[in-house]
Amino acid sequence: MDPLIKHTWNFTESEAVDLQKQLALKVIQNDQFNKINYIAGVDVAYSEDTDKLIAAVVILEATSLNVVESVVVEDVSQFPYIPGLFSFRELPPIIKAFEKLVTIPDLVVCDGQGIAHPRRFGLASHLGVLFNIPTIGCGKTRLLGENVEPESSRGSCSPLIVDDQVIGTVLRTQDNVKPIYVSIGHKISLPTAREWILKLCPKYRLPETTRQADQLVRKTLAKDS
């Protein structure tokens, strides 16, 4: 699975910001897909002692949430950690993992932000635009915006707002647990993104896509260390 849009990853900070502003114009914020059969989760883990990192893509069957394929790639960090430019650090190894996939996902859930980002172009949007695939940003923490606290029951939500614009939803996926932050990545509407994330959280706070990918990168990194 190759990206339809390819660009270099050798950017200065200002060049990366400029590219985000350009590509953000390509983000589609409504549902543009047919049936969702396979959903991908992506994650990256970093070694504490070296510049090594592990990227993984895990494909789940949409109805059963069973893992049908997983790919792991070992790489090294090429871009520094700069707030707001997360995708330039994580996407190069994630793309290498996508290139090895046999099963093509219909939807990708990213452990990060979509348009809930200062330039409306977080990791999920960047990945979605490059591959022209529906993506959802699902973050554990809020990057920006304001919201009221959703009610304590599973499925409760409240809008995440910046300058009177709704950029995401704050979703309670289980009773009495911390909410997560859901935003459009690409080719999906916010209500549909929220529905899918809730379906992907039958037992735990985080979606199974994120949990499975996170477990895989952590196990691989621990085994290689």
Is 43 annotated among the ligand-binding residues? yes
Per-residue pLDDT tens over the stretch 161-174: 999 999 999 999 99
Question: Measured on CA atoms in the order 212, 183, 9, 99, is the torsion positive or negative?
Answer: positive
Q: Which CATH architecture has domain 13-224?
A: 2-Layer Sandwich (3.30)
Average pLDDT over residues 202-212: 97
Give the whole-number percent of the chain exceeding pLDDT 90.
91
Note the pLDDT of residue 114: 97
Note the pLDDT of residue 127: 98
Short-list 190, 52, 224, 204, CA closest to 114: 190
Q: Which amino acid is at 20?
A: Q
Average pLDDT in the chain: 95
Say how far apart CA 155 and CA 173 lie, in whole Å: 6
**Which pTM does this prediction carry?**
0.95
Structural domain boundaries in the chain: 13-224
Note the pLDDT of residue 225: 62
Is 111 annotated among the ligand-binding residues? yes
Q: Does pLDDT of 66 surpass 90?
A: yes
- If you count DSSP H runs as helices and E runs as strands, how many of each does the chain have, helices first? 5, 8
Note the pLDDT of residue 78: 86
Nearby residues of 119 by Cβ (< 8 Å), 6 or more positions away: 17, 20, 21, 24, 84
